[in-house]
Chains A and B, each alone.
Chain A
Amino acid sequence: MIRTNNIKYKYPGGKDMVFPDIQCSSSEMLLVLGTSGVGKTTLLHLLGGLLSSQHGNIQIGEIDMTKLSGAEADHFRGKNIGIVFQQNHFVDALSVIENVTLAQTLAGNKVDKKAAQNILDRLNIGDKADHAIKNLSQGEKQRVAIARALINQPKVILADEPTSALDDSNCNEVLDLLQEQAKAVGSALVVVTHDTRLKDKINHQVIL
Chain B
Amino acid sequence: MTIIQLAWRNIIKNPLNLLMSIILFGLGVGLISFLLLFNTQLKEKFDKNLADIDLVVGAKGSPLQMILCNMYHIDNPTGNIPIKNAAPLLKDLHPLIKKAIPLSLGDNYKAYRIVGTNHDLLELYGAKLKEGSLWAKDFEVTIGKSVADEAGLKLGDKFVSSHGFNEDDHTHDEYSFVVKGVLEGTGTVMDQLILTNTASIWLVHSGHGDEEAHDEEAHGPSIKENTEPAQEDQVQQNSNADLLHHMDQEITSVLIQYKSNKNFQALNFGRNINENTEMQSASPAIEMNRLYSMMGVGTDALNALALLIAIVSALSIFISLLKSMRERKYELAIIRVLGAGRSKVFLLIILEGLFLAIIGFIIGTFLSHVGMEILAKYLKADFRYSFTGMKWISEEWYVLGVSVVLGVLAALIPAIQAANTDINKTLSEK
Contact = CB atoms under 8 A, between A and B. Distances in A.
Interface string B296-327: 00000000000000000000000000000000
Contacts of A91: 6, 9-10, 331, 334-335
A107 interface: yes
Contacts of B343: 71
B1 interface: yes
Contacts of B9: 91, 93-94
Contacts, number: 75
Given A50-B424, A71-B341, A94-B9, A105 B2 contact: yes
A75 B424 contact: no
A92 B334 CA distance: 11
Contacts of A74: 336, 339-342
A87 B338 contact: no
Interface residues of A, number: 32
Contact of A45 (B6, B328, B331, B427): B427
Contacts of A92: 13, 328, 331
Contacts of B10: 91, 93
A148 interface: yes
B226 to A, nearest CB: 89
A87 B430 contact: yes
Given A45-B424, A89-B331, A70 B337 contact: no
A28 B334 CA distance: 26
Contacts of A51: 424
Contact of A105 (B1, B12, B341): B1
Contacts of B72: none
Interface string A73-117: 011011100010111011111100010011101111001000000
B265 interface: no
Contacts of A107: 338-339
Contacts of A75: 339, 341
B333 A148 contact: no
A41 interface: yes
A79 B339 CA distance: 7
Interface in B2-27: 2, 6, 9-10, 12-13
A162 interface: no
B1 A101 contact: yes
B338 A106 contact: yes
A105 B9 CA distance: 15
B338 A102 contact: yes
B330 interface: yes
A87 to B, nearest CB: 7
B266 interface: no
B97 interface: no
A9 to B, nearest CB: 10
A89 B333 contact: yes
B136 interface: no
Nearest to A98: B1
B214 to A, nearest CB: 78
A95 B325 CA distance: 20
B263 interface: no
Nearest to B428: A41
Interface string A150-185: 000000000000000000000000000000000000
Given A91-B334, A105-B2, A45 B340 contact: no
A75 B341 CA distance: 7
Contacts of B337: 48, 50, 77, 83
B156 to A, nearest CB: 68
B51 interface: no
Contacts of A86: 430
A145 B13 CA distance: 21
Interface in A129-152: 148
Interface string B394-430: 0000000000000000000000000000011001101
A33 B333 CA distance: 25
Contacts of B13: 92-93
B325 to A, nearest CB: 13
Interface in B328-359: 328, 330-331, 333-344
Contacts of A78: 338-340
Contacts of B339: 74-75, 77-79, 103, 106-108
Nearest to A48: B337
Contacts of A98: 1
Contact of A71 (B2, B328, B342): B342
B334 A90 contact: yes
Interface in A15-51: 41, 45, 48, 50-51
Interface centre among B335, B336, B344, B427 (most CB of A within 10 A): B427
A94 B340 contact: no
Contact of A50 (B6, B12, B330, B427): B427
B234 to A, nearest CB: 82
Given A77-B339, A90-B334, A108-B339, 17 more contacts: A45-B428, A48-B337, A50-B427, A51-B424, A74-B339, A91-B6, A91-B10, A91-B331, A93-B9, A93-B13, A94-B9, A98-B1, A101-B1, A102-B335, A103-B339, A105-B1, A105-B2
30 contacts: A45-B427, A50-B424, A70-B342, A71-B342, A74-B336, A74-B339, A74-B341, A75-B341, A77-B337, A78-B339, A78-B340, A79-B339, A83-B337, A85-B427, A89-B330, A89-B334, A91-B331, A91-B334, A91-B335, A92-B328, A92-B331, A93-B12, A93-B13, A94-B6, A101-B1, A102-B1, A103-B338, A105-B1, A108-B339, A111-B1
Interface of B: 1-2, 6, 9-10, 12-13, 328, 330-331, 333-344, 423-424, 427-428, 430
